[in-house]
Structure 1
Amino acid sequence: VTGVNERLVVTVLGPDRPGLVEAVSKVVEGHGGNWEASRMVRLAGRFAGVLLVTSSDDVVDRLATDLRALGQEGLQVVVERGDDDAPPDSRAMELELVGHDQPGIVRKVSAVLASRGVNIDELDSTCESAPMAGHNLFKVHAMVRAPMALDVAALRAELEGLAGDLMVDISLAESVES
């Protein structure tokens, strides 16, 4: 790859079928791009993916155009230029939640985090059958980024109060990833 590297964030959504990842990767490679990171999943018969691609500045616009052209294959594709990573004045933290599945858990937890300036970098959630408990078990694993000036003890106390209201377990810990 020649020239200055540009970063593209690409999202892809469409009916799941074999060959979707191959189609996207073929376009990236065809322009000399580098596939740096991705998250892809099949949910309810749909394929959803987000990826970070770098490419030289002299071909990045053509790469973006050709990625968007995958829409002709029944995919919804959004391509945006990426920015720098996390601000240096923040710290990485890890949030875990486990409890009885109920509407509103993600909204309530994310509202507490947002009110204190905490950004959610990654969020993975699952709902699993818990036959012994007689209900579904909802699990969340999130990587968050908090301002260095944040009173972590106060945030933990607020999350513990919310956990009691929702009858779930929530933990928040410093992450080894910075």
Structure 2
Amino acid sequence: MNHLIISFMTADRPGIVKVLSDLISEHSANWEKSSLHQISGVFAGVVEIAVPVENSTDLADKLAELPGFKMQIEHVQQQDSASESIFVLELTANDRSGIVQEISSIIHHHGGNLLKLVSTQEIAPHAGHELFKAKITVSAAKSTIDTMTDALENLADDLMVDISR
């Protein structure tokens, strides 16, 4: 099997996932992992596809030809699982400019690899100001998890960190 990673953007409308999944299915391929989002009227996503070697080029060509899609397609080798621990951080703080940079710098400084970041802005109940909320999946050596978490908690008085392993 070959693996394709596709990233795409298109104007949001009903049926986008069906168009992609039909094309993938027609090529005897398997939709393995994805992250799809509607943001400001645009539907965007990243999808990992396992496809038989003999269908790989044709599928990539057909995906690239989809009308109305901005598409990037990468042929990749599937990676073995890392020997590091994977854990999830859930962060909540008052929103401010630069918060993602501060968080990602701490993770990097402590040897972590940020695998997934999903963030939102929400209005704080009863206060009315904007909150930053994030769910971050990180891969790191077990020995660094506690110091990384401490560093994140010390980033600001208002930053709450929950960790699950």
TM-score, normalised to structure 2, is: 0.91
Residue correspondence of structure 1 range 4-153 to structure 2 within 5 A? 5-70=1-66, 73-85=67-79, 87-148=81-142, 150-153=143-146
- Residues 114 and 137, structure 2, Cα contact 8 Å, conserved in 1: yes
Q: CA deviation at 1:56?
A: 0.6
Q: Percent identity?
A: 31
Which amino acid in structure 1 is aligned with residue 52 of structure 2?
S
Q: Which runs of 5+ in 1 are unaligned?
A: none
What is the root-mean-square deviation of aligned Cα atoms in Å?
A: 1.7
Q: CA deviation at 1:131?
A: 4.3
Change beyond 3 A, Cα 1:36–1:161: same
- Residues 92 and 144, structure 1, Cα contact 8 Å, conserved in 2: yes
- Residues 153 and 159, structure 2, Cα contact 8 Å, conserved in 1: no
Alpha-carbon distance in 2 for matches of 1:34, 1:63? 12
Q: CA deviation at 1:15?
A: 0.9
Alpha-carbon distance in 1 for matches of 2:125, 2:84? 41
Alpha-carbon distance in 2 for matches of 1:125, 1:143? 12
- Residues 111 and 140, structure 2, Cα contact 8 Å, conserved in 1: yes
- Residues 163 and 170, structure 1, Cα contact 8 Å, conserved in 2: no
Which amino acid in structure 2 is aligned with residue 170 of structure 1?
V
Q: CA deviation at 1:152?
A: 2.6
Alpha-carbon distance in 1 for matches of 2:141, 2:55? 36
TM-score, normalised to structure 1, is: 0.85
1:112 is paired with a residue whose SS is helix
Which amino acid in structure 2 is aligned with residue 41 of structure 1?
H
Q: Is residue 2:161 matched to residue 1:170?
A: yes
Aligned length: 165
Q: Which runs of 5+ in 2 are unaligned?
A: none
C-alpha offsets along residues 86-127 of structure 1, whole Å, 9 cap, x if unaligned? 643211011111121111111100011112221111111111
